[in-house]
Amino acid sequence: MKAKEIKDLIQFIADSGLGEIDIETEEIKLHVKRSSTTSQIVASVEQQPIISSAPAITTPEVNTQEKVQAHPENSGSKKDSASLDNLVEIKSPMIGTFYRAATPESDVFINIGDEVNKGDVVCIVEAMKLFNEIESDISGKIVKVLVDNASPIEYDQPLFLVEPN
């Protein structure tokens, strides 16, 4: 199923009077729920996330239980204050290279689903041969790792999505 088809489908549902709908095909499971004032749309994707309208939380990682939120582009003047609202990003304080473990041999600092406490080290950013342990500034549960290990990152780039306690 293409992104365009999903978008059309979401638009169709948005235009209809349906309150809640589940659609399941071989490729995708889609669950759409409309609340009284906002439209909250959550798609649970089986394979590669293919919804391109939410780039901040799509990565090539495959995770069957991952929740990917889609913002229908044509929702008009309706404010979309959907489920991302309660998630917080841990951002990079510098440019450099992102590492999930202290050394190539060691375990990663943190995984999806792990509880993180304020002050826990979540990753290393190497910048010009300076190795920086980055502490989390929030406590909560890691929902998503937004960057692949050993990738270059920019200043202020979101690294992790956290559901705060």
Partner 1 sequence: MDKISTSYLIRGKTIYYLPTCHSTNEIAHQMVEEKKGFDGDIVLTSYQSKGKGQRGQFWESEDGKNLLLSIILKPKELKAKNGFFLNTISSISLLNTLQDDFDMQNSFIKWPNDIYANNKKIAGILVENNIRDTYVDYSIVGVGFNVNQTQFKFGNTATSLSLVKGRALELFDVLERLISNFERLYLQLCNNQKENLKAQYLNSLYGYKKSIKLLEKESNHEFLGEITGLDEYGRALVNKEGETRAYDIKEIVFQDFQ
* Spatial separation of the C-alpha atoms in residues 113 and 96, rounded to whole Å: 26
Residue type at 130 in one-letter notation: L
- Whichever of 28 and 162 has its CB closer to partner 1, that residue is 162
- Whichever of 45 and 109 has its CB closer to partner 1, that residue is 109
**Residue 144 C-beta: closest distance to partner 1, Å:** 21
- Whichever of 29 and 118 has its CB closer to partner 1, that residue is 118
**Residue 98 C-beta: closest distance to partner 1, Å:** 12
- Residues at the contact surface with partner 1, assessed by CB under 8 A: 93-97, 99, 103-105, 119, 121, 125-135, 137, 152, 155
Q: Write the CA distances from 93 to 21, 101, 118, 157, integer angstroms.
A: 41, 18, 16, 8
- Whichever of 39 and 157 has its CB closer to partner 1, that residue is 157
Find out whether 134 and 124 touch, Cβ atoms under 8 Å.
yes
**Residue 130 C-beta: closest distance to partner 1, Å:** 5
* Spatial separation of the C-alpha atoms in residues 11 and 160, rounded to whole Å: 30
